Structure 1
Amino acid sequence: MPPRARMEVALVLLSLLCALIVAGGPGHTAHAAQENGRVEMALVDQPVAHGPDDPLDLTIKVTNNTSETLGGFAVTVGVSERVLSRSALRDALANFPEFLPSAFTRYFERQDIAPGESVTLSIEDSVFELSTLELATEGGAYPLIIELFDVGLTERLDEFTTPLIYYPTPPETPLDLVLVVPINALPARAPDGTFPADASGDWPLEYAVRKSGWLRGTLDAIRRLTAPKPPPPGPRPRPGPEPNRDVPTSGQRTRSPATPRRLRIALAPTPRLVEELTDMRNGYRRTGAAGAEQLGAGAPGARNAAAVLARMSSLLKLDEVQPLLAPYSLADLPSAERSGLGLSPGQTQLGVGEQVLDKGLAYDFGQRWLVPPGGRIDTGTLQELQLGNAAGRVFFSPHSLQDPELSGEGCTEAFASFTCPVRVRTRVGTARGFVADKGLQERFAELARGPGLDRLALQKLLAETATIWAELPGRSKRMVQAAIPPLWHPSPGTMTRLLEAFAAAPWLHTVTPAQGLSLGSPSDQSTLPSLGSAPDQPGAEFASTVARAYDTVQSFSSLEPPEAMVERLTRDILVSQSQMWWGDDGLEEQGLSYAIEAEREAYGEMAKVRLGAPDHITLTAREGQIRLEAFNDASYPVKVRITFAAPKLSIEESIVRTIPPGKQQPLEVEATAEASGTSSLEVYLQTPDGLSLPGSQKRIAVTSTQFNRIALGLTFGALAFLVLFYVNRAIIRRRGVRPSAQTTTT
């Protein structure tokens, strides 16, 4: 056995002996108890990958949370054998190994750490200090165990495991990666059209578009890596002997490529965010503790918004960037489809989203590539979209498919990860696309939990992809798809390092979705007929409130108010459908407020139209006119319907009139009395589609005198007839008596 190997074995045995004494046996992961807190160790940085004889370049931070000074310490670095599966990787990262085949220890005897203080140290030793790596012939993820001991190696203070990705030779056949980068944020524009300050007193979207903001930083990072400038010319080589090509050089190292490879991504800007940026660019109104303030197009926030839109638009024109269409407000498509709002194609989440993106970014998005939030899409929703010539290219979630385990017969092996495009056929059409890798999405979620860059979480994510590659290292046309969490807003530096890691990873080859479809053969899959509600989806009361608000705005639109007003109110209702509000009571309330305020504003506008009518009307003839007045206090003309209901009057059922803005308009309606006396006439002022306007119902008492006069004439006629009849009869009788008297006398 070589001397260095014997020394490593001795160090390993010493480490194991210490662990047995302190922890009570191998495999024990509990830390030694420390009074008044503990000493902690955290990974600050490490290279993405390593090659032969590369320095480890580990940066570690040690923090003393105890009440006593830590007088020196030691760090042991050990490595386990290469993991052969994703489950083995997770097990190795979660559990301390029983045995380390190779390790070394570095002592920091003179490094004292006072209570509450931290020190950052570097481990620069070569990877060949670990014989497991020196003798390795296969590339992949090797669990690297870092242990912190007191200087006498009697107490283990802390430890962690990070994946070290090592390749003796660069991979010849990389794994293709389809990476989706969403550009998304919670709505910053309130229902009243202003941009309010948040709880900290800042304006979120103004902060995002600053030079140091997350949004501008993300776009700048994408630009640098998707269209990098050519490297500056280096110095002329000095004359000398030819280098030995058999010895690894710094240019061959995988940890820091001399020329970063060009990154290819899919970019999914949320239309609502683009719309708000467009508003800011043109001048906007913001509110805060000092009140309301109108800012023009020359204000810093407006100029920064314009710069961000210009950057976004330029990215979409690059061959390395594939534009994706997302719903207007990142709404859950199956839920939106079940809502029964009856939206026209131009009012749907996708229809509005396409309009906004086309206008705001000067790019024809179409509905060629669709990214449903969370990949949630079922057969019913897919077919409805296909009927509108949409959803030809779709990103799916495994939970949207009937085979969530994704056997992938014909495109992968049973033991390996699913690494194929998919094809979904319905009775309407065919959709092709990708399925997000569940494990990678979990790693992304872990990475997005903290505000800054969790270097260990990033390395675990990278190791997951390296392990997928190692399943079938020589197999070409294998690809996975993953998406950055939509509401994760890392700093510009964090986003840059994340994207640089994907660009630098020698086992990965990023491709656009279109390139991915052209490279791999699709696996036939089927979507579930119907997806139920998501676990964190709001209840039925939330949905019914949104539906009621939509019905109210639709009725208001039939008055024919300005299109811009109806468009704003309708889009605010679409904002309420966003998936971004789910799972948090405060956010749900905020999201629902968009629908409630839209309904309230619509009713407020409709209340500006009033009806004037007398309490009593007398018809002096059988036919007459009912005179009314309509008042329009709005600044635009409105079309209204006046509806009548009267059982004893013959009158038009309804009439439609347009009332000029700020005017009072007389209305006259012909009516015919069908009975004498007083009857009730109900008058309703409605929208043309039949919604009664607030406070617009009037009840009028209508009295007809024409029938009383006829009855009086008939009464007098009958009396005259009776008088004439009896007078005539009396005359006849008198004439008959006189001849009889003359006869008797004779």
Structure 2
Amino acid sequence: MTGRAAGRTGGRPPGRRRATAALVAACTAGVLPLLGGLPAGAAPGDGPGTDDAARQVQVTLTELTPRSIAPGAEIVVSGRITNTGEETLTDLTLRVQRGEQLRTRQALADDLADPSPTTTAAAAFAPVDDELPAGESMPFRYVTSATELRLEGDGVYPALVNVNGTDPDGLTERVGELTTHLVVAPATPTARTAVGVLWPITDRPHRAPDGDFTDDDLAGEIAPGGRLDRALATVEDLPRRPDSDAPAVPVTLAVDPALVEELTTMAGGYRVPDGSGGTTDGAGREDAEAYLARLRAVAAEQDVLALPYADADLDALQTAGGGDAVRRALPGTAAADPPAEGGTSPGGTAGQTGGTTAGESAAPTDGATPVTPSGTEATTPAAEPSGDGSADAGAGTGAALLRTALGVTPRTDLAWPVGGTLRTETLTTLQDAGVRQLVLAEQSWADPGTAVGDDGSTATARVDTDTDAGPLTTLVADSGLGDAVAALGDDPAGARAAEQRYLAELAVLGTQLAAAGGSRQTVLVVPPRQVDVDPAAATALLADAAEQPWLDVASLGQLTAGPVADAGQLLPATAGPDQLGGPALGDVGAALGVRADFATAVVGDPDTALRGYDAAIDRSVASSWRGDPDGFAEAAAAVRERLLDLTRRVTLLEPADGTYSLASSDAPLVLTVSNDLPFAVEVRVEVRALANAGLTTEDGGLQQVDLESRRVVTVASEVSQSGSFAVTATLSTPGGGSLGEPVDMQVRSTAYGTITLAVTFGAAALLALLFLRRLVLFVLRRRRAGSLHDDDRDDADADLVGASPAAGSGAGRDAGPADGDPTRRPPTRSPV
């Protein structure tokens, strides 16, 4: 058996796991070395030489009474023995023997890992039956006493149920055994161990990213005998206080809001795949309604802790999307802040609710309003965070879901991370979001011995620390007690054997407390998230705290108000083989990236509008995917595709024939944007001409498109030349992310553009100038020609007048040679 003692030489390793498989090995086939002589009544099968090969009898324990033994009390051990070999056994005898007292939890851990000799005292052998054929089983009942086993001092004693038999060859030997522990209670308890319990009601997601059910497995989990039915029955059957009829054992239920949402949807009627591509009615409607009623009744009496939606792995969300992704998953985070002035008020627009509708709020299927089993709408308004900085229990989606379905106000100021550890960044995010308390595993602390009593000291579940984000209170889950609870469902030695180990863990803590002179100590019991137990055994185990005089009960609130231990430094989570990561976490990160960009396009509060998509992301990183890499990869790929589909629901519509015609050079392009979402969005339309053709467009700014509608958008444009242009129109978010598919089209223009007109007018002006030039030249030539003709006429007239005596001195007469100048020729005259 593996135990706390494993690897502890010289110090305590991080973490403390006592695996169930090791318990099985110790219970079914461990070799108990026998030291010294055998006590009186020893049988040949007790002697040296007996090995595991001879252990062909499986011993199962069904009764060990009393649970804690008083001096002189009668001890009854009952169960079944099964011949797992191939030969018939005869002359079967059985007895109980015990070893030396275990006084510390370390000694108990060592004994669980390697059972110590049980030869200190033994009762007499008693016959069981004459014959046990191969493959068959039979009951047994053995009675001894504390006196016969010499149980005189209170404490824990290792014990062995020893079965001897004779094989066909006549050899008598030990053929079967079961190791357990006997607890002797103090006659007058002076010290008590207070036990707190955190009990999970969780399951893996059963819905696809679009909200549809992927299977009907949850119907089997809540049906009578199913795992969740048994988990709830454990708490339902706890004993009641005689004075008030309230539960005698306080239990805090850790409830996944996504599970309750699925149950609410199932109770209203639901469909599941039929295996042939269609759907059929789910089988769990009535069981879901009954389960919700039962859970509602238990929640009315016990504390309820709201887990993150889908019990999301917060470290994975922090890695993939940062603090905003984590905050949206938390149950106490406000679902919607007050809208900015002029924005869309939550609840004021169809398809946007300010509260939470069970079955709808987390489902991306928009517009549906499921009903509660009573047939009324299950709508809860969102609330504001409380003013003291802590998360108000009604502030978040998860808390609202539980409040609506269960009628209670759950706790949201305490978180229980998967694995019990957190990365530093995740812890800071939680504290910023109002989480003030954590339930952590032992390996979160450098020295948890003082918290769980491993070092022999008094156990104290509460450990406080200061972080960069402020003070933090933690409760340390006791792994030994948690493993004992887990063994109730799968221990081959029987659930009663697992419960006895649980009692032994508590009893040895009581021994340490008494030795230290203390009067009270505290422990926290936290089973695995997918707790799978026999309800009768589990109820009896939890009831021990109220029924054993050396134990006491405590709520989580009482533990956090109790004494404080020093467990050293708070250690950040380290990567483990089952943590969510790899390419699948990359798909989740891609989905969160699309979500962050699309949020910039939402008119109003994006957290309200995108709540269904956030829920799908949370389901993709559910803690239940740890250990199931294939399931995680499938869920992550599906949610990435779902978020990409969100961007395809806001699109540009192509023109009917792929062509636009512009009647003028500055006519706008007219485009149509379709919004298929149940909320309004703001988008940006951009048109670009290919190869810098003669078309330019302007940025038209953001355009709002109402929910589930179309809007005509105009883009200012100008053509610089007539003709046909190849252009591409795109749609994007304000953050720059693409929406829909680009639209390629042809723009045809018959109008003259500015350049064309300039060229045309320029050519006309040039032609006009050329014509004017020719006209001027023509006029000038005509004028010149006319001047020459006039000069010839004037000369002729002068010749005629020159013969007159008065000639030669008139005004305007050209000066010429003196009269009688022999060089001047007389004018000639043409004949008339």
With normalisation by structure 2, the TM-score equals 0.73
Cα distance in 1 between the residues matched to 2:663 and 2:645: 44
Cα distance in 2 between the residues matched to 1:620 and 1:21: 108
Task: Work out which of the residue numbers 279, 291, 294 in structure 2 matches 1:308.
Answer: 291
Structure 2 residue aligned with 1:284: 270
Structure 1 residue aligned with 2:435: 391
1:146 Cα shift?
A: 1.8
Cα distance in 1 between the residues matched to 2:454 and 2:138: 47
Which segment drifts farther, 552-561 or 262-271? 552-561
Cα distance in 1 between the residues matched to 2:474 and 2:563: 11
In structure 2, give the amino acid aligned to 1:567.
R
In structure 1, give the amino acid aligned to 2:398.
G
| Residues 102, 157 of structure 2: 8 Å contact kept | yes
Cα distance in 2 between the residues matched to 1:599 and 1:79: 63
In structure 2, give the amino acid aligned to 1:739.
S
Q: Deviations over 1:593-615 (max 9, x none)?
A: 552453365355446x6343765
The alignment covers a number of residue pairs equal to 680
Cα distance in 1 between the residues matched to 2:201 and 2:174: 44
1:118 Cα shift?
A: 0.7
Structure 2 residue aligned with 1:466: 507
Structure 1 residue aligned with 2:345: none
Cα distance in 2 between the residues matched to 1:413 and 1:713: 99
Structure 2 residue aligned with 1:326: 307
Structure 2 residue aligned with 1:595: 639
The answer to whether the aligner puts 1:423 opposite 2:464 as a matched pair is yes
1:263 Cα shift?
A: 1.1
Task: Work out which of the residue numbers 306, 318, 333 in structure 2 matches 1:337.
Answer: 318
Which segment drifts farther, 362-371 or 466-475? 362-371
The answer to whether the aligner puts 1:541 opposite 2:583 as a matched pair is yes
Q: Unaligned 5+ residue runs, structure 2?
A: 1-35, 334-396, 797-832
Which segment drifts farther, 351-360 or 626-635? 626-635
Cα distance in 2 between the residues matched to 1:145 and 1:316: 41
| Residues 570, 598 of structure 1: 8 Å contact kept | no
Pair 554,491 (structure 1): closer, same or farther in 2 beyond 3 Å: farther
Cα distance in 2 between the residues matched to 1:193 and 1:618: 44
Structure 1 residue aligned with 2:11: none
Which segment drifts farther, 169-178 or 185-194? 185-194
1:294 Cα shift?
A: 4.1
The answer to whether the aligner puts 1:682 opposite 2:728 as a matched pair is yes
1:215 Cα shift?
A: 2.8
Cα distance in 2 between the residues matched to 1:218 and 1:229: 24
The RMSD of aligned alpha carbons is 3.6
Q: Deviations over 1:269-324 (max 9, x none)?
A: 112111111212232223335852346xxxx8334323333333333343xx3322
Structure 2 residue aligned with 1:180: 198
1:80 Cα shift?
A: 0.9
Pair 498,445 (structure 1): closer, same or farther in 2 beyond 3 Å: same
Which segment drifts farther, 512-521 or 592-601? 592-601
Larger radius of gyration: 2
1:481 Cα shift?
A: 1.6
Structure 2 residue aligned with 1:156: 174
SS at match of 2:324: coil
Q: Deviations over 1:660-712 (max 9, x none)?
A: 7466x544333234677765543213345443233243344464523323322
Matches within 5 A, 1:650-665: 650-658=697-705, 661=708, 665=711
The answer to whether the aligner puts 1:15 opposite 2:42 as a matched pair is yes
1:573 Cα shift?
A: 0.8
Structure 2 residue aligned with 1:146: 161
1:83 Cα shift?
A: 0.5
SS at match of 1:125: strand
| Residues 93, 161 of structure 1: 8 Å contact kept | no
Structure 2 residue aligned with 1:210: 223
In structure 1, give the amino acid aligned to 2:415.
L
Cα distance in 2 between the residues matched to 1:702 and 1:519: 81
Cα distance in 2 between the residues matched to 1:743 and 1:506: 153
Cα distance in 1 between the residues matched to 2:696 and 2:128: 106
Structure 2 residue aligned with 1:695: 741
Cα distance in 1 between the residues matched to 2:295 and 2:637: 30
Q: Deviations over 1:209-265 (max 9, x none)?
A: 334444344334323326456699xxxxxxxxxxxxxxxxxxxxxxxxxxx992122
Structure 2 residue aligned with 1:669: 715
Structure 2 residue aligned with 1:489: 532
Matches within 5 A, 1:621-632: 621-631=664-674
The answer to whether the aligner puts 1:711 opposite 2:759 as a matched pair is yes
Cα distance in 2 between the residues matched to 1:739 and 1:581: 113
The answer to whether the aligner puts 1:31 opposite 2:52 as a matched pair is yes
Structure 1 residue aligned with 2:573: 531
Pair 728,10 (structure 1): closer, same or farther in 2 beyond 3 Å: closer
| Residues 335, 533 of structure 1: 8 Å contact kept | no
| Residues 416, 471 of structure 1: 8 Å contact kept | yes
Task: Work out which of the residue numbers 332, 350, 353 in structure 1 matches 2:398.
Answer: 353
| Residues 193, 552 of structure 2: 8 Å contact kept | yes
Q: Unaligned 5+ residue runs, structure 1?
A: 1-8, 24-29, 198-202, 233-259
Structure 2 residue aligned with 1:649: 696
Pair 186,582 (structure 1): closer, same or farther in 2 beyond 3 Å: same
| Residues 286, 293 of structure 1: 8 Å contact kept | yes
Matches within 5 A, 1:62-81: 62-81=81-100
Cα distance in 1 between the residues matched to 2:171 and 2:765: 132
Matches within 5 A, 1:631-646: 631=674, 640-645=683-688
| Residues 379, 527 of structure 1: 8 Å contact kept | no
Which segment drifts farther, 116-125 or 585-594? 585-594
In structure 1, give the amino acid aligned to 2:136.
E
The answer to whether the aligner puts 1:101 opposite 2:90 as a matched pair is no
Which segment drifts farther, 145-154 or 110-119? 145-154
1:715 Cα shift?
A: 0.8
| Residues 191, 550 of structure 2: 8 Å contact kept | yes
In structure 1, give the amino acid aligned to 2:49.
V
In structure 2, give the amino acid aligned to 1:372.
P
1:329 Cα shift?
A: 1.8
Task: Work out which of the residue numbers 467, 477, 480 in structure 1 matches 2:520.
Answer: 477
Q: Deviations over 1:124-153 (max 9, x none)?
A: 22222212x1xx12x221111122112688
Pair 585,281 (structure 1): closer, same or farther in 2 beyond 3 Å: same
Task: Work out which of the residue numbers 209, 214, 217 in structure 2 matches 1:191.
Answer: 209
| Residues 575, 594 of structure 1: 8 Å contact kept | no
With normalisation by structure 1, the TM-score equals 0.81
Q: Deviations over 1:621-666 (max 9, x none)?
A: 4422222334556787765432234565242344414267466x54
Cα distance in 1 between the residues matched to 2:598 and 2:421: 33
| Residues 602, 679 of structure 2: 8 Å contact kept | no
**Identity over the aligned pairs, expressed in percent?**
25
Cα distance in 1 between the residues matched to 2:231 and 2:268: 23
Q: Deviations over 1:184-214 (max 9, x none)?
A: 11122333434344xxxxx332233334444
Pair 224,54 (structure 1): closer, same or farther in 2 beyond 3 Å: same
Cα distance in 2 between the residues matched to 1:660 and 1:176: 57
